[in-house]
């Protein structure tokens, strides 16, 4: 897992619950806790930190990951404004997840292992998004998408139609876009 994710997690936890909560999570989870965005760290570190948060807040893993993704979005926009440039809707932003966002991530971190999303449009205009990753972080992805909607000020509908956590082979997200303002429909 890229160091940037740990940095984001630290920032989100510190912002919402204070830096001492992060200290407590680091100590409770037994991880080294020194993360730089340039480095790569074991996936087990993020799982241990999430597990510690679950325990401290009595929440399940998915809820913690979704909360993290949702609240990380404004921080991401602050740190990497170029990823958001030119986008005014969640739809165009999410449509570019593979070709724009992850491509930019690879420029910064050539060894980054980004998930690939298979995107397709449902007949009624919804976006269908397949997610397949050994990390099983579909909830984090959901948090990011919903967080992006919040960032662009749109009320989008997110349904987790299939999920590996429920025995499905892959996760499928259905995203319903906010009705376009003034009748203009995003291409």
The residues binding another protein (CB under 8 A) are: 18-21, 23-24, 26-27, 32-39
* Residue 144: both structure tokens together: 């990011």
We find the least distance from the C-beta atom of residue 62 to another protein, in angstroms, to be 25
We find the least distance from the C-beta atom of residue 98 to another protein, in angstroms, to be 25
We find the least distance from the C-beta atom of residue 23 to another protein, in angstroms, to be 5
We find the least distance from the C-beta atom of residue 176 to another protein, in angstroms, to be 40
Contacts of 143 (CB under 8 A, 6+ apart): 65, 66, 67, 68, 69, 70, 71, 72
Which is nearer to another protein, 52 or 138 (by Cβ)? 52
DSSP string, 148-171: HHHHTT---EEEEEE-GGGT-SSE
Which is nearer to another protein, 18 or 125 (by Cβ)? 18
We find the least distance from the C-beta atom of residue 41 to another protein, in angstroms, to be 10
Alpha-carbon distance of 112 to 159, in angstroms, equals 28
Alpha-carbon distance of 40 to 27, in angstroms, equals 20
Which is nearer to another protein, 108 or 170 (by Cβ)? 108
Alpha-carbon distance of 173 to 161, in angstroms, equals 6
Q: By three-state DSSP, how is residue 30 classified? A: coil
Which is nearer to another protein, 33 or 115 (by Cβ)? 33
Alpha-carbon distance of 3 to 79, in angstroms, equals 14
Which is nearer to another protein, 38 or 122 (by Cβ)? 38
Residue 142 CA neighbour count, 13 Å, CB half: 22
Residue 178 CA neighbour count, 13 Å, CB half: 18
* Residue 149: both structure tokens together: 């909607």
Which is nearer to another protein, 35 or 131 (by Cβ)? 35
We find the least distance from the C-beta atom of residue 45 to another protein, in angstroms, to be 13
């Amino acid at each position: 897992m890229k160091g940037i994710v740990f940095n984001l997690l630290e920032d989100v936890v510190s912002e919402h619950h204070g830096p001492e909560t992060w200290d407590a999570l680091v100590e409770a989870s037994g991880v080294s806790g020194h993360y730089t965005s340039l480095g790569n760290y074991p996936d087990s570190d993020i799982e241990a930190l999430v597990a510690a948060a679950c325990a401290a807040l009595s929440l399940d893993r998915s809820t913690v990951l979704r909360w993290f993704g949702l609240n990380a979005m404004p921080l991401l926009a602050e740190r990497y404004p170029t990823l958001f440039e030119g986008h005014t809707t969640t739809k165009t932003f999410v449509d570019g997840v593979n070709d724009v966002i992850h491509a930019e991530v690879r420029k910064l971190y050539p060894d980054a292992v980004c998930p690939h999303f298979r995107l397709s449009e449902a007949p009624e205009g919804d976006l269908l998004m397949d997610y397949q990753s050994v990390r099983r972080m579909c909830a984090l992805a959901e948090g990011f998408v919903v967080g992006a909607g919040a960032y662009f000020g749109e009320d989008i509908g997110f349904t987790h139609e299939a999920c590996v956590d429920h025995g499905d082979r892959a996760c499928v997200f259905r995203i319903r876009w906010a009705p376009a303002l003034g009748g203009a429909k995003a291409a």
